[in-house]
Structure 1
Amino acid sequence: MDTDLILSATIPPGVMLAGGGVLGAIIGSFLGAALERLPAERSIVTGRSACDHCGTALAVQDLVPVISWLALKGRCRTCGGRIGAWQLACELGGAAIGLASVALAPVGLALAAMVLGWQLLLLALLDLRHLWLPRVLTGVLAANGLLLAAGRSWAMQDIFPLEWALIGGALGFGMLWSVAFGYRRLRGREGMGGGDPPLMGAIGLWLGPLGVVHTLLGAALVGLIAAIAMHVSGRKIGADTALPLGTCLAATAWPMFLFSGFG
């Protein structure tokens, strides 16, 4: 029997919602640390959490997701150094993903929606902040999608879910790789980050070929809205203006899965 169904049958809905939010905030706190450490090539699994300014190890009361940041007004308790709002964004984003997954995901897919959402949140913020999509994180996302597709095929005794996922992965990667290749040949320079095609391929393993098409259309719309917002705010937009396509893809793919499930 599906784990989500077992939990929903034994735990009151309000408790499930609260649990999803709390778990999401905790995961978001870890994602915030990863957002700081990964670009600096620091380990995200070893070493105690410490202030980036004075190096003081953080106490338990400083590590309560959301509450600690708000109570300390985004400052280190010891030296007063600023704790970036990115940390709060990760914790709130993680909590929102947990809550929405419990409340809105198709029956039996809440846990899958959480796993997908938290991975895409970290990738989206890394691309937004650093224009960087680590291949190892994209690989983990792809492996998760492939594993779930294989599991569904085994449970259904039907190869179709796995085939559909593989078609989605190939289509997602192939479409963006072709666009990047064509742009490079025509313009003589890169027009897309090297991490975008693998990310779209990984998303395709989760959403299938139809989800790939919908995600690309949605990402184009998100990018257009972002460009309009930049123009309205007075920022110049030129041919060399970098927009984080990975962020647009992630921001579109997760809601697609949340409401539609696997492709």
Structure 2
Amino acid sequence: MTYSDSRSKLDSATIDEENNVFNVEGVKVYYGGLLALLDVYLKIPAKQIIAFIGPSGCGKSTLLRCFNRMNDLIPGAKVEGRLNYRDRNIYDPKINSVKLRRQVGMVFQRPNPFPKSIYENISFGPRANGYKGNVDELVEDSLRRAAIWDEVKDKLKEKGTALSGGQQQRLCIARAIAMKPDVLLMDEPCSALDPISSRQVEELCLELKQQYTIIMVTHNMQQASRVADFTAFFNTEIDEHGKRRGKLVEFNPTAQMFSSPQTKEAEDYISGRFG
């Protein structure tokens, strides 16, 4: 589906209309009064991996941050339009953004474990939010789900920052899982990792989508083709004032996006003509 017909065609048979986690309706993002991301219409299906691809500066991460209102933390940022999560507009003033981020967790580009023990990295968030269950079981379950338990089970008291880069990223995924989220946002989670660690994270994502919806920004098109069920292609354009802004060009099942893209822009990007 191309951007121009996204409003009418994103309800195609490829997406279960009754099982959308997010419904993005005409979202625009401004930084300091400048339009950074043009109207986006997009539906995110549950328990799928959705990849955002496109050249630098095209709005991928900007949109990703909208899903749990991380843009609220950026001075001068403003979001317009409607972004429904489970049929509620998350930009409604009544929505508690802190509670939203418990349900919509985020894993960042570079691993950022707390300067605490591996155990405390996992247990800190749930305890701070009043978790009443068995913390030991929660820590083990989260580390198992993140496919790192066997590597760290004998050193839970050691600092998370002492782990390798790939292990740190899986620790951060385990930390996000411990909060029992519904959605995981991943902003280029493998860009700082070696190929082996990247592959481990990809395999982990394929396991996690059985329980979570995953939205991933990636510059690696091979990664998108390997793990994503749906792919959204973003690009930039120049406005009448000579300012660059991002836009959603096309959103389709990944197999279709990479075999027969519907737009010349997507075809040129995927074939390596630019980007």
- Greater relative contact order, per chain length (Cα 8 Å cut-off, separation 6+): 2
TM-score scaled by length of structure 1:
0.33
Structure exhibiting the larger radius of gyration computed from Cα positions: 1
TM-score scaled by length of structure 2:
0.32
